[in-house]
Chains A and B, each alone.
Chain A
Amino acid sequence: MMSSIAVSTTINDDEVEFLCQPDETLLDVLRNRLGLMGAKEGCGTGDCGACSTIMDGRVVCSCLVLGAEAQGRTIETIEGMAQGSELHPLQRKFIEHAALQCGICTPGFLMAAKALLARNPDPNEEEIRFWLAGNLCRCTGYDKIVRAVQDAAREMRGEQS
Chain B
Amino acid sequence: MSFDAAYRSKTFNSVGTRPLRPDGVDKVTGRARYGADFNMPGQLVARVLRSPHAHARIKSIDTKQAEAVKGVKAIITAADLPDLTDGNASLFAILDNCMARTKALYDGHAVAAVAAIDEKTAKQALKLIRVEYEVLPHVVDVDAAMQADAPVLNDTVFTSGVEPTPKTPSNVANRSEFGHGDVDAGFEQADFVVDRSYKTEQTHQGYIEPHACVANCNSDGTAEMWVCTQGHFVYRQTCADLLGLEVSKLRVTSSEIGGGFGGKTHVWAEPVALALSRKAGRPVKLIMSREEVFRASGPTSATSIDVRIGARKDGTITAATATLRYSNGPYPDMWAELGAMTSFACYDLENVKTVGFEVLVNRPKVAAYRAPSAPMAAFAVESAIDELAHKIGMDALDLRIKNAAKEGTKSSYGPVYGPIGIGPTLQAAKAHPHMSAPLGKNQGRGMACGFWFNFGGQTCTDLNVSADGTVTLAVGTVDVGGSRASLSLIAAEELGIRYEDVKAVIADTSTLGYNDMTDGSRGTFSTSMATISAARNAIEVMRKRAALTWDIPLEDVYWEDGHAHASGTKHGNRAPLSVKDLAAEAGNTGGPIAGHSELVADGAGVSFATHICDIEVDPETGSSRVVRYTVIQDAGKAVHPSYVEGQYQGGAAQGIGWALNEEYIYGEDGRLQNPGFLDYRIPVCSDLPMIDTQILEIPNPNHPYGVRGVGETSIVPPLAAIANAVSNAVGVRMAHIPISPPRILAALEADAG
Q: Residues of A at under 8 Å CB distance from B?
A: 31, 36-45, 47-48, 50, 77-79, 81-82, 87, 91-92, 94-98, 100-107, 110, 125-126, 128-130, 132-146
Closest residue of A by beta carbon distance from B693:
A143
Cα distance A78–B684 when bound, in Å? 22
Q: Is the CB of B650 within 8 A of A146?
A: no
Q: Is the CB of A45 within 8 A of B25?
A: no
Interface string of B469-481 (1 = CB under 8 A from A): 0000000000011
5 A-B pairs closest in CB distance: A38-B30, A104-B258, A141-B653, A103-B27, A141-B649
Could you list some 13 contacts between A and B, CB below 8 A?
A31-B36, A40-B208, A81-B29, A87-B28, A102-B480, A132-B686, A133-B686, A136-B208, A138-B682, A140-B649, A142-B683, A142-B688, A144-B649
Q: A40-B34, A94-B28 are in contact. List 10 more A-B contacts (CB 8 A).
A: A42-B677, A44-B290, A45-B290, A78-B28, A98-B646, A101-B643, A129-B688, A135-B685, A138-B682, A142-B683
Cα distance A37–B37 when bound, in Å? 6
Q: Which of A126, A135, A136, A138 has the most CB of B within 10 A?
A: A138
Q: Is the CB of A96 within 8 A of B20?
A: yes
Task: Given A40-B36, A79-B30, A95-B25, decide whether A133 and B684 contact each other with a Cβ distance below 8 A.
Answer: yes
Cα distance A152–B686 when bound, in Å? 19
Q: Which of B30, B290, B683 has the most CB of A within 10 A?
A: B30
Closest residue of B by beta carbon distance from A135:
B685
Q: Is the CB of A138 within 8 A of B29?
A: no
A92 contact set on B, CB distance < 8 A? 28
Among A95, A107, A138, the residue within 8 A (CB) of B259 is: A138
Q: Determine whether B90 belongs to the interface, using a CB cutoff of 8 Å to chain A.
A: no
* Contact residues of A: prevailing secondary structure: loop
Interface string of B666-704 (1 = CB under 8 A from A): 000000000011100011111110110000000000000
B36 contact set on A, CB distance < 8 A? 31, 37, 40-41
Interface string of B1-45 (1 = CB under 8 A from A): 000000000000000001011011101111111101100000000
CB distance from A123 to the nearest CB of B (A): 12
CB distance from A49 to the nearest CB of B (A): 9
Q: Is the CB of B676 within 8 A of A43?
A: yes
Q: Is the CB of B480 within 8 A of A101?
A: yes
Among B25, B28, B208, B684, the residue within 8 A (CB) of A42 is: B208
B645 contact set on A, CB distance < 8 A? 98, 144
CB distance from B24 to the nearest CB of A (A): 4
Cα distance A18–B683 when bound, in Å? 37
Q: Is the CB of B677 within 8 A of A79?
A: no
Q: Is the CB of A42 within 8 A of B209?
A: yes
Q: Which of A42, A91, A103, A145 has the most CB of B within 10 A?
A: A103
Cα distance A9–B677 when bound, in Å? 31
Q: Is the CB of A136 within 8 A of B28?
A: no
CB distance from B709 to the nearest CB of A (A): 15
Q: Is the CB of A100 within 8 A of B24?
A: yes
Q: Is the CB of A139 within 8 A of B290?
A: no
Q: Is the CB of A40 within 8 A of B29?
A: no
Cα distance A100–B24 when bound, in Å? 8
Q: Is the CB of A98 within 8 A of B643?
A: yes
Q: Is the CB of B289 within 8 A of A139?
A: no
Interface string of B637-658 (1 = CB under 8 A from A): 0000011011001101110000
Closest residue of A by beta carbon distance from B676:
A45
Q: Is the CB of B481 within 8 A of A145?
A: no
A129 contact set on B, CB distance < 8 A? 685-686, 688
Closest residue of A by beta carbon distance from B33:
A37
A144 contact set on B, CB distance < 8 A? 642, 645-646, 649
Interface string of B339-350 (1 = CB under 8 A from A): 000000000000
Cα distance A39–B30 when bound, in Å? 7
Q: Is the CB of A101 within 8 A of B207?
A: no
B23 contact set on A, CB distance < 8 A? 103
Q: Determine whether B256 belongs to the interface, using a CB cutoff of 8 Å to chain A.
A: yes
Q: Determine whether B257 belongs to the interface, using a CB cutoff of 8 Å to chain A.
A: yes
Q: Is the CB of B650 within 8 A of A138?
A: yes
CB distance from A99 to the nearest CB of B (A): 9
Q: Is the CB of B678 within 8 A of A45?
A: yes
Q: Is the CB of A141 within 8 A of B650?
A: yes
Q: Is the CB of B676 within 8 A of A47?
A: yes
Q: Is the CB of A104 within 8 A of B688?
A: no
Cα distance A143–B679 when bound, in Å? 24
Cα distance A77–B260 when bound, in Å? 26
B652 contact set on A, CB distance < 8 A? 141
CB distance from B124 to the nearest CB of A (A): 11
